[in-house]
Amino acid sequence: MRHALLPLVLVAVVVTGCRPPITITTPQGKVIYAANEVATRVERLQAAAIAGEAEGTLPTDVARVFVQFSVSAAKTLQALPAGWGTSVAVAWGEAKRQIPLKYLNSPTVATAVMAVDTVLAIWLPVSTGGA
Other Cβ atoms closer than 10 A to 47: 15
How much is the pLDDT for 19? 61
Q: What is the pTM (predicted TM-score) of this model?
A: 0.79
Domain assignments of the chain as residue spans, ordered by start? 27-127
Q: Average pLDDT per run of 10 along the chain, which is 131 residues long?
A: 50 53 75 90 97 96 98 93 89 97 95 96 71 51
Q: How many CA atoms lie within 13 A of 99 on its CB side?
A: 28
How much is the pLDDT for 62? 97
Query: In 77-98, which positions are buried (b, 16+ CB within 10 angstroms) versus exposed (e)?
Result: beeebeebbebbbebbeebbee
How much is the pLDDT for 129? 57
How much is the pLDDT for 4? 53
